[in-house]
Chain A
Amino acid sequence: MIKESFAEGSSWMHGIDPRLRVTGAVAFAVVVAVSYDFKALLIALTLSLFMALSARLNFQAVLQRLLAPVVFLLLLWAVVPWTYEGDVLAVLGPLVITRPGVALCAQISVKTVCLMLAFMALVATMTVATLGHTLNRLRLPDKMVHMLLITYRYLFVIEQEYHRLVRAMKIRNFHPKTNLHSYRTFAYLVGMLFVRASERARRVHGAMICRGFSGRFVSLRVFPHNPRNYLFSIGIIFSLALLVALESAK
């Protein structure tokens, strides 16, 4: 269900300490989110393209993942330019396209693509398990990390249960139609998934406390020292400083 195809790579980006990547991605996101100056945004976009290239991400896979946000952006472009108040850019029949409206759409579009690329390159290049341990090292609360890792593990288990239930329905000739029987069957399916999931959670919790679990999460992962980490940190700090400078020099 979750393929993590970007995590199996061997570019130099994959070798950078995951803690630096996560912190860098978050800092980048914060800076880009509050930037409205076009020079800054375009430089940010170039930076994220550079990050995506360094991580050697598969071009098609990137485009596939950008599809959903692009659909959202198209909706935005369809509505905002002529409903946002401001000085007129063009008139198309009854619709009045305003300059601030178009500017806002453009800013949002650039920010969206920029941050998606950055996160794909920096964060999606590690497995969810590594991400969980990284967040733990970055002092995120134990309970949150625990929830992330267990949710990830149990998505696959619940998917298996779902397939098991659907198979049981199919072999008894269930064909979905728009009738009460079908609706009731789907309701049972969802209900059973909840019940089974909660039962399983109870049993796994029992297994964990039988092996001494007491709420603290200890990870086995070691982050090996890599000299390129320094290059990465300097690069990120410099780029963010540049963006902030451009933004505040308005």
Chain B
Amino acid sequence: MNSPIIHLSKIRYGYPGGPLVLNELDFHLHVGDRIGLVAPNGSGKTTLFHIIMGLIKPLSGTVEAFGKARRAESDFIEVRRRIGLLFQDADDQLFSPTVLEDVAFGPLNLGKSRDEAVAVARKTLDFLGLNGFEDRVTYKLSGGEKRLVSLATVLAMEPEVLLLDEPSGALDSSTKDKLIEILNGLDLSFVLISHEFDFLSKTAGHIYTMDGGRIRFDQELDIHTHEHAHLMGKLPHRHL
């Protein structure tokens, strides 16, 4: 029985002047879990991620990561090294002039030397099929390219857990397929927020939803296929 790497207990949080978004929330993530989270807008999914990373401090409740309780800002430094967060808006994640510098930012902060950081950055870009992007200017990239580059910036830190906030938003179907392929090829645990069921069904192992400020583990969504019929069904085809 492996102990959870992330364990949130009785978390309560509400934005200043507003109602409680998270109300006695419990959450746990074990090694190898690939969890999908789908819930209506405003249910607190992004807030949950920000609390795990220590960007927001909950009003009450405990945050435990990698076996230790995390309370102060300094406790979260280790958390941020081992958990990667992919923001909903890729523009918030890219702040260096060129792609190579942005991807190398994480490794450099982890203490690697300049040459090691550049090597890791190049390897990560290569893994994502982004060779040739090293000297591109970050703010001149297209939406899909920005999304993949921001994924590269997070993966370059070689995290054990990935938190992805709507990674497939505003991506065309071929970039989405690429993303699905990449996620399935990664050897780490992740939590994926998405509104798209078939994206989740191809990547996540369990899908949970959020309701009333808590995660509904009991209402696990089952992945299944529907059978249907239409003309020329025997010929190979895809539904978009």
Contact = CB atoms under 8 A, between A and B. Distances in A.
A, B: real partners = yes
Interface of A: 127, 129, 149-150, 153, 156-157, 200, 203-204, 206-214, 218, 220, 222
Contact of B92 (A129, A150, A207, A222): A207
A218 B108 contact: yes
B109 interface: yes
B92 A203 contact: yes
Contacts of A213: 105, 109
Contacts of A222: 114
A156 B157 contact: no
The size bracket of the interface on B is 20 to 34
User: Mostly helix, strand, loop or mixed at chain B's interface?
Assistant: helix
B87 A207 contact: yes
A220 B139 contact: no
B40 to A, nearest CB: 22
A207 B106 CA distance: 10
B100 interface: yes
A222 B101 CA distance: 13
Contacts of B85: 210
A211 B153 contact: yes
Contact of A204 (B84, B95, B97): B95
B106 A212 contact: yes
B95 A150 contact: yes
B109 A204 contact: no
Nearest to B153: A211
A153 B139 contact: yes
A218 B111 CA distance: 10
Interface of B: 50, 53, 55, 77, 80-81, 84-85, 87, 89, 91-93, 95-98, 100-101, 104-106, 108-110, 114, 117-118, 139, 153-154, 157
B105 A211 contact: yes
Contacts of B97: 127, 129, 149, 153
Q: Which of A156, A204, A218, A222 has the most CB of B within 10 A?
A: A218
A220 B104 contact: yes
A193 to B, nearest CB: 16
19 contacts: A129-B97, A149-B97, A156-B139, A204-B92, A206-B50, A206-B55, A206-B92, A208-B95, A209-B55, A211-B153, A212-B80, A212-B81, A212-B106, A212-B157, A218-B109, A220-B104, A220-B108, A220-B118, A222-B114
A222 B53 CA distance: 34
B140 to A, nearest CB: 9
Given A204-B92, A209-B80, A214-B109, A220 B55 contact: no
A218 B80 CA distance: 19
A207 B139 contact: no
Contact of A220 (B53, B110, B117): B117
A218 B95 CA distance: 14
A200 B105 contact: no
A214 B117 CA distance: 17
A156 B91 CA distance: 12
Nearest to B95: A204
A154 to B, nearest CB: 8
